[in-house]
Amino acid sequence: MTELTYFVSRELLFLLILSALGSGPATFLSVRFSPLARAAMAPALGMCVGTAIFTCTLWFFPANKTFWLVPVVAILSLAAAAYRSWSAIRPIRSKNSARLLVGVLEIVLVFLLVSAPTVYTFEQNRSVGPVTYLAPDSGAYTLTIDGMVHESLRTAAASKPGTSHDLSQAYLAQYINGFQEIDIDPFEANIDALIGIGASGTQSPFMLAALVSGALGAFAATLYFLRRRSWVAVFAATLFGGPFFLQLFFDGSEGAICGLAVLLPLAVVGLDAIAETTAANAILLALLAAGLMALYPLFVAPVALVACVVLVSLIYRRIRGPGLDQRWLRRGITFCVATVLVASMMDPVVLLRDLRYWRSANGISGASLPRYDLAASVLPGWLFQSREFYALGFAGNSAVTNVLLSVLLPVIGAVIIVIGLRRHRSAWIPLFFVCASGALA
C-alpha cells in the first residue's frame, strides 16, 4: 500500500466513525434541518459524543481497556438513527432519487476539495505525518495520544512528571499536570488502540478528518440559513480548505481545528433553539457546548459573550414588541439553565480542568507560540483567505497579482458578506463572535 492509500483510508475511517457516532443525535435536529443538513451535521456531533464519552472513561482506564466501546457506541447510534428515520422512509421516486444523488455528490465534492491538496502534499513527500511548521503542536499531540493508550488520566495526574521510562507516558504526566485543554486526544487514543496503530501514523489523517467535519458543518449551517439546497453551501464548506485552515493544519493546531469544526453547528443549533426551546434542542446544544469546552476552551468566552448579547437582544425585542411575558421568560431561563447543567454533566472531567485553564494565565498566554507582525497591507488578504499565510510578502508577485490578492478579492469577499448580512439577519450572530475573538486576540 502506498502512503496515499494509508493516509486516505485512515482519514475516511475517522470520518466514518465520527458520522456513525453523530448519526443518532443528528436525527433529533428539528424539521428546519433538511435530511442533507442532518447528514452533514453528524461528524461534528460525533466528535462531541466521542470526546465526552472517552474523556470520562480515560480518567479511570487507559484507552487499551476501553477501545471496544467505540464500535459499540457507533452501532447503538446508527441503530437509533435507523429506528427514528424508519417512519420517514417512503418509496423512492425518480425525482427524490436524483435529489439524493446530487446531495451525496455535494458532500463528496466537499470532502475532495478540502482533503485533496493536503493529501497530495503528503503523497508527494511520501509521508502520513505528523507534520508541524512553526508551532510544535503535532509532536506534543502524538506523545499525549500514545501515552493515553497505556495510562489513565487519573494515574498520570498522580505520577510525578519525568519519573516514567516511557517517553509518551512521561510527557502525558507533564501535560495532564499542566493547564492545557485535554482536546480530542482521549477519543483518538481509543481509535488507535482499536485499529492497533500509533499516533504518529494517525494524527495527521485524523486532524484532516476533523477539518472535513468542520467543512460539512459549514455546509449544513449554510443550508439551514438558506432553507434550500444551493451550491453556495458547497462553496462555503470548501473555505475550510483555504489558507487560514491549511496554516492551522501544517502547524499541527489540532485543538483549534476541532474547536472551529463545532462552532458553526453550535451556532445553528443555538439559533434553532431560539425558534423552538425543546428538550431535544437543549440536549444537542449542551452536547456541542460540552464538546467545545473539551476541544478548545479558549473559544468558550467569546461564545458565552455572544450568547449574552443574543439573550439581551431577545429580551429587548420582546419588551419593544408584545411585552415581556413571565411565562416566556421562565421558559427561556429554564432552557438556558438546563443547557448549562447538562453540558457540565456530560463531561465533568473537562469542566474541572477548564476551571483550572481559565484561572491560569499560562492557559491562554500562548507563550510558546511564534510572534507575527502583520502589517495593515497584508491583513485583508490573510483574513479573506486570498493569500497564503507564510507567503504574505509582495516582492515575489507582479503588481497586478498583488492588487488582485490583497485588494480586489478581499473587497469582493466583503461585499458578499454585507449582502449576506442584509438578507439573513441571524448571520449577525457569528459576526459578534468574530469581534469578540478579535478583542480577545
Lowest mean pLDDT among 258-272, 383-397, 411-425: 383-397
Residue 370 to residue 245: CA distance in whole angstroms:
17
Residue 36 · residue 108 · CB < 8 Å: no
Lowest mean pLDDT among 21-35, 72-86, 108-122, 398-412: 398-412
pLDDT at 131: 83
Residue 90 · residue 385 · CB < 8 Å: no
Q: Binning pLDDT at 50, 70 and 90, where does residue 91 land?
A: very low
Task: Please list, in sequence order, all residues whose beta carbon lies within 8 angstroms of the beta carbon of residue 311, skipping any fewer than 6 positions away.
Answer: 332, 336
SS3 content of the chain, % helix, strand, coil (to 5): 75, 0, 25
Query: Does the pLDDT at position 396 exceed 70?
Result: no
pLDDT at 73: 94
How far, rounded to the nearest angstrom, does the alpha carbon of residue 396 sit from its chain's CA centroid? Answer: 35
pLDDT at 47: 94
- Mean model confidence pLDDT for the chain: 83
pLDDT digits (tens, 9 = 90+) for 259-308: 999 999 999 999 888 888 888 889 999 999 999 998 988 888 888 888 88
Give yes or no for a cis peptide into 130 (omega within 30° of 0).
Answer: yes
- HSE toward the beta carbon, residue 265, CA cutoff 13 A: 36
Q: What is the mean pLDDT of residues 98-120?
A: 86
Q: Binning pLDDT at 50, 70 and 90, where does residue 92 land?
A: very low
Q: Binning pLDDT at 50, 70 and 90, where does residue 46 land?
A: very high
pLDDT digits (tens, 9 = 90+) for 184-229: 999 999 999 999 988 888 889 999 999 999 999 999 999 988 888 8
pLDDT digits (tens, 9 = 90+) for 135-145: 778 888 888 88
Amino acid at 5: T
Amino acid at 324: L
Report pTM: 0.88
* CA angle 289–290–294, rounded 5-degree value: 115
Buried b / exposed e along 388-421 (16+ C-beta atoms within 10 A): ebeebeeeeeeeeebeebbeebbeebeeeeeeee
Burial label, 316 (beta-carbon count in 10 A; 0-12, 13-18, 19+): exposed
317 membership: H or E segment, kind and range = helix 300-320
Query: Does the pLDDT at position 328 exceed 90?
Result: no
**Of 260, 258, 271, the residue nearest 302 (C-alpha):** 260
Q: Which residue has the higher pLDDT, 353 or 215?
A: 215
pLDDT digits (tens, 9 = 90+) for 278-289: 888 899 999 999
DSSP-assigned letters across all residues of 168-202: HHHHHHHHHTSSS--TTHHHHHHHHHHHT--GGGT
pLDDT at 34: 87
pLDDT at 88: 52
